[in-house]
């Protein structure tokens, strides 16, 4: 932290000159303390219309039962579980950024963790609604809990991955919420101490009386570190258990041991893509270019290449094993996947998840905001198709050819999915308005060591190796928020 | 002067504040507390604050979760109502592991965070105890108890020498009370 300098070779995490502690607070709280602009209102209108569609579609499902979906005797699980796994996957990046990157001391996480965690929570809410609505009789949702009952007591089946999943998702959601909220306390206190009147009273209630004393901070850091330590295996366990919903069944195409690592990699892949989709826009609209820099974007793109390649290797391994195992059902499932009636979905998945992320190897693409944003959406589309392919193509041609069928979504299927996206964006846009989208306290930690101005001071002091300085200045070229002319003089 | 309860040295830079703490300590002036907008590493050692034992609490809560999960599953699936699944044993430990793990994390997280809230007196609606409203924004504030340390001019001088931008004399402990 303060007191010693960071290596000049590292890229700055905060750019711009004249950044002070007060300016960090002002910049980050700008959207919270001012009236929203036109872009926000337009986004919010569309998002809330989507959320309304979701309310209609889910209510329709509750009223009429899941017969209103396009399911049939052969394909008994389709868009509902696809949407569920997709959202849970997206919900993985937040905790990965806040927990795993904290353990690895990746300081660049400080500026993106808050909004990524918020995104996680909203994505898991979207996922949870699928769980409840696809139960058919949602008023009996409590049956998934091991509660004493009048059937004997007949307990839930603890051998079933669906029961594990209930424990995993609810633990994940509540622990993520706890982690996020505890981290928010100091920042809510910042808003509280700057506000007046009713606003102050409201933020005062939610700040839990945070004072920022030495002992509070000391315990806060201990709590954050331990929460990160327990959330790291938690985040891995959640998608592992989601994958077991499929892997422990005996359906060809699902019954594979590669599922847990492959699903976890896919989840991180799609989660980072969604973080980029949201933050590239938020950064521009909220004017946070100095805090979410090109370095952050490039780092996230690198994680996307890595996890995208892991997913690609998993696809190929799955295919190889289907052939190598000699199981005719297994190999048929895979041949059917790639060349059967759903070939287009399979190749959509392959293109979006395996081929297009490889474009990020090119520095020019990796550093282009437009290209990154488009690729992040392509990845999200691809990951939706991945789940669709795994689920529907494994089911639609079962053991009796006479019962082979196709799946056609109804308007309710489509509306629940489109509506859940609307719900997600509504929650995210509200979050941007009422809570700081960047962890203020954590970014302040970086100011004296990892900011551009601190490094500039280091260079001006003249004790740094000339070659290193040249390399550092070269690395600044990619930043769109750095004034190059400041470095021309040196 | 007698109404003054706390003297606050308000710094704009964490390093200068650390220097201020050293200065005060050299002159045997006890520090009541320090309020900062971000965690300051190394300040605990300087102020002689003991290491937090919250990790011990976290471990105890976690292990309680493991035991509770095992006890629940064992009671339901092995003692109370054995379900015959293809004649396989009811006591299928590997199948118990996922839920045991999840409940370990759940108990550990909630137990630890609630312990943290309780020990630090954080709860919804608690009146904020703030001595300087800018201590959550851009100021690093050292609070000195004015009743215990009577040499007010000395304290003032020391704080200003160390680089305090402002020295405040608060007649109320917490200005945040309405």
CA distances from A189 to A14, A81, A186, A428 (A): 23, 40, 5, 21
Q: Do B52 and A212 touch (CB under 8 A)?
A: no
* Mean pLDDT, residues A49-76: 91
The first and second tokens of residue A62, run together, are: 């509750």
Region for B48 from its dihedrals, namely left if φ exceeds 0, alpha if ψ lies in -120 to 50, beta otherwise: left
Q: How confident is the model at residue A286 (pLDDT cuts 50, 70, 90)?
A: confident
Same domain, B58 and B47: no
Residues B42 and B93 in one domain: no
Does residue B177 belong to any structural domain of this protein?
Answer: no
Same domain as B60, residue B38: no
B167, containing H or E segment: strand B166-170
CA distance A25 to A371: 31
What six digits make up the tokens of A232? 């790291």
In a domain, B67, yes or no: yes
Nearest CA among A248, A243, A186 for reference residue A220: A186
- B19 found inside a domain: yes
Q: Are residues B113 and B148 in the same domain?
A: no
Does residue A48 have a pLDDT over 90? yes
Q: Are A2 and A448 in contact (CB under 8 A)?
A: yes
| B112 in a structural domain | yes
* A420 close to A383: Cβ distance less than 8 angstroms: no
Name the average pLDDT for chain A. 89
Pair B140, B14: CB distance under 8 Å: yes
Of A86-100, A119-133, A315-329, A475-489, least confident by mean pLDDT is A475-489
Which of the two residues, A103 and B104, has the higher pLDDT score? Answer: B104
| pLDDT at A346 exceeding the cut of 50 | yes
> Nearest Cβ partner of A167 from B77, B85, B102?
B102
Q: Is B38 part of any domain?
A: yes
On whether residue B176 sits in a domain, the answer given is no
B177: pLDDT strictly greater than 80:
no
Facing B54 at nearest CB: one of A152, A186, A219: A219
Same domain, B18 and B47: yes
Q: Which of A2, A27, A439 to mutate to test the interface with B (most CBs of B within 10 A)?
A: A2
What are the pLDDT digits (tens) for B12-39? Answer: 888 888 888 888 888 888 888 899 998 8
| Residue A67 to residue A73: CA distance in whole angstroms | 11
Q: What pLDDT digit, counting tens, does each position of A81-118 carry? A: 999 999 999 988 888 888 888 888 888 888 888 889 99
Which residues form the domain of B85?
A: 54-119
Shared domain for B58 and B113, answered yes or no, is yes
Query: Which residues of B fall within a CB distance of 8 Å from A208?
Result: 117, 122-124, 126
Residue B176 — pLDDT band, cuts 50, 70, 90?
low
Is it the case that residue A1 has pLDDT exceeding 50?
Answer: no
Are B115 and B166 in a shared domain?
no
Phi, psi for residue B167 in degrees, rounded to 5? -120, 125
What's the rounded Cα separation, in Å, for the pair A135 and A128? 11
Which segment of A234-238, A399-403, A459-463 scores lowest on mean pLDDT? A459-463
For each of the domains in chain A, give its residue range(s) and CATH number, in order of start.
21-147+160-450 (1.20.1630.10)
Model pLDDT, residue A2? 43
Per-residue confidence (pLDDT) for residue A462, from 0 to 100: 76
- Mean pLDDT, rounded, of chain B: 87
Task: Report how many Cβ contacts below 8 Å link chain A to chain B.
Answer: 201
Longest CA pairwise span in chain A (Å): 82
Question: Is the Cβ pair A213, B12 closer than 8 Å?
Answer: no
A41-59 mean pLDDT: 94
Q: Does B1 map to a domain?
A: no
Does B124 map to a domain?
Answer: no
- Rounded distance between C-alpha atoms, residue B134 and residue B8, angstroms: 12
- Which percentage of chain B shows pLDDT scores above 70? 97
Q: Which of B15, B92, B128 sits opposite A209 (nearest CB)?
A: B128
């Amino acid at each position: 932290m303060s007191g010693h300098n960071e290596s000049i070779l590292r890229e700055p995490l905060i750019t711009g000159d004249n950044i002070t502690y007060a300016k960090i607070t002002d910049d980050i709280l700008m959207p919270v303390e001012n009236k929203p602009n036109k872009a926000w209102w337009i986004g919010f209108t569309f998002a809330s219309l989507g959320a309304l569609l979701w309310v209609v579609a889910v209510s329709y499902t509750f009223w009429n039962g899941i017969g209103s979906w396009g399911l049939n005797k052969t394909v008994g699980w389709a868009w509902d579980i696809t949407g569920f796994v997709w959202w849970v996957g997206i919900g993985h990046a937040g905790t990965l950024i806040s927990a795993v990157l904290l353990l690895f001391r990746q300081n660049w996480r400080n500026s993106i963790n808050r909004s990524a965690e918020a995104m996680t929570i909203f994505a898991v809410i979207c996922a949870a609604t699928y769980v409840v609505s696809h139960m058919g009789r949602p008023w009996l949702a409590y049956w998934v809990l091991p509660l004493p009952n009048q059937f004997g007591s007949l307990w839930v089946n603890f051998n079933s991955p669906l029961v594990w999943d209930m424990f995993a998702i609810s633990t994940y959601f509540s622990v993520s919420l706890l982690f996020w909220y505890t981290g928010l306390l100091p920042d809510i206190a910042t808003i509280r101490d700057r506000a007046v009147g009713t606003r102050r009273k409201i933020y005062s209630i939610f700040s839990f009386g945070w004072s920022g004393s030495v002992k509070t901070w000391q315990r806060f850091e201990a709590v954050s570190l331990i929460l990160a330590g327990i959330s790291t295996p938690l985040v891995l366990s959640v998608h592992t258990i989601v994958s077991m919903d499929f892997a422990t069944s005996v359906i060809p195409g699902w019954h594979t041991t590669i599922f847990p690592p492959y699903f976890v990699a896919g989840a991180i892949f799609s989660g980072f893509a969604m973080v980029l989709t949201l933050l590239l826009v938020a950064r521009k609209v909220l004017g946070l270019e100095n805090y979410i820099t090109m370095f952050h974007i490039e780092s996230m793109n690198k994680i996307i290449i890595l996890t995208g390649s892991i997913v690609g290797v998993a696809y190929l391994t799955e295919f190889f094993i289907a052939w190598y195992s000699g199981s005719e059902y297994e190999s048929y499932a895979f041949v059917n996947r790639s060349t059967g009636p759903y070939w287009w979905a399979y190749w959509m998945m392959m293109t979006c998840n395996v081929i297009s992320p490889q474009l990020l190897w090119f520095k020019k693409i990796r550093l282009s905001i437009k290209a990154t944003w488009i690729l992040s959406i392509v990845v999200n589309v691809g990951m939706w198709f991945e789940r669709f392919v795994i689920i529907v193509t494994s089911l639609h041609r079962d053991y009796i050819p006479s019962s082979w069928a196709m799946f056609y979504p109804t308007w309710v299927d489509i509306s629940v999915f489109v509506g859940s996206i609307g719900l997600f964006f509504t929650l995210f846009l509200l979050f941007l308005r009422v809570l700081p989208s960047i962890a203020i306290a954590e970014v302040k930690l970086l100011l004296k060591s990892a900011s551009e101005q601190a490094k500039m001071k280091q260079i001006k002091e003249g004790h740094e190796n000339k070659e290193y300085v040249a390399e550092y200045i070269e690395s600044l070229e990619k930043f769109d928020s750095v004034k190059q002319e400041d470095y021309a003089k040196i | 002067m007698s109404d003054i309860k706390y003297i606050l040295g308000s710094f704009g830079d964490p390093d200068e504040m650390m220097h201020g703490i050293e200065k005060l300590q050299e002159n045997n002036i006890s520090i009541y507390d320090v309020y900062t907008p971000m965690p300051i590493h190394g300040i605990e050692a300087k102020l002689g604050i003991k290491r937090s034992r919250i990790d011990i609490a976290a471990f105890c809560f976690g292990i309680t979760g493991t035991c509770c999960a095992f006890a629940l599953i064992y009671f339901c699936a092995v003692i109370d109502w054995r379900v015959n699944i293809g004649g396989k044993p009811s006591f299928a430990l590997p199948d118990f592991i996922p839920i045991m793990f999840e409940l370990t994390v759940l108990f550990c997280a909630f137990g630890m965070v609630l312990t943290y809230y309780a020990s630090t007196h954080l709860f919804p609606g608690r009146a904020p105890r703030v001595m300087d409203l800018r201590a959550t924004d851009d100021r690093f504030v050292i609070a000195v108890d004015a009743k215990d340390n009577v040499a007010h001019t000395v304290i003032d001088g020391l704080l200003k020498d160390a680089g305090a931008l402002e020295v405040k004399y608060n007649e109320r402990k917490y200005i945040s009370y309405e």
